[in-house]
Structure 1
Amino acid sequence: MENVKAKIIENFTRLARKKVVETDVVKDLKIDSLDLAEIIVLAEEEFNISISDQELMQIVTVQDVVDLVLSKV
């Protein structure tokens, strides 16, 4: 479980070019929809899951992504 969280935060940190914590709001990180899509695709590939567009639209915080991925692994 911690591996999932660490990997997602690592991907956010790389794209945001600053330290990211799970309580950060995605919009405040200056991550656009393409960057978020990249993070989701990486998670889908890494953890062999599928995330729908509807689920993607409900993401507000980094923790939302972590919770979503954890619910599918």
Structure 2
Amino acid sequence: MKIQQTIISKLEYMSKKKVTLDSTLEQLNVDSLDLADLIIEAEKEFQIQIPDEELTKIKKVKDIVILVEKLKSNI
């Protein structure tokens, strides 16, 4: 749950909009630079490494949460 709360909180700060798991990055006006910043923060905070090829699959907030949870559980 902490992963979900952290990511939603960061996206709400970036986009200044209400964020849900089903929010798309497009709806939140999150561009590739914003996504890169978010990924770098998530990697540092959760001590994971997100492969670049996974970034193209991220369309919704829940995609980020699921990816981070999966990588975190593999450690």
Q: Tell me the TM-score range normalised by the shorter chain.
A: over 0.9
Give the TM-score, by structure 2 length.
0.93
Structure with more helix by fraction: 1
CA distance in 2, matches of 1:23, 1:67: 12
Gaps of 5+ in 1: none
Give the TM-score, by structure 1 length.
0.95
CA distance in 1, matches of 2:21, 2:15: 13
Structure 1 segments of 4+ aligned residues over 3 angstroms from their partners = none
Superposition deviation, residue 18 in structure 1: 1.2
Identity %: 39
Gaps of 5+ in 2: none
CA distance in 1, matches of 2:57, 2:44: 20
* Aligned pairs, number: 72
Aligned CA-pair RMSD:
0.6
Of structures 1 and 2, the one with the larger relative CO (CA 8 A, separation 6+) is 1
CA distance in 1, matches of 2:28, 2:18: 10
Q: Give the secondary-structure state (helix, strand or coil) at the position aligned to 1:29.
A: coil
| Map of 1:37 onto structure 2 | 36
Q: How does 1:13-52 map to 2 (within 5 A)?
A: 13-52=12-51
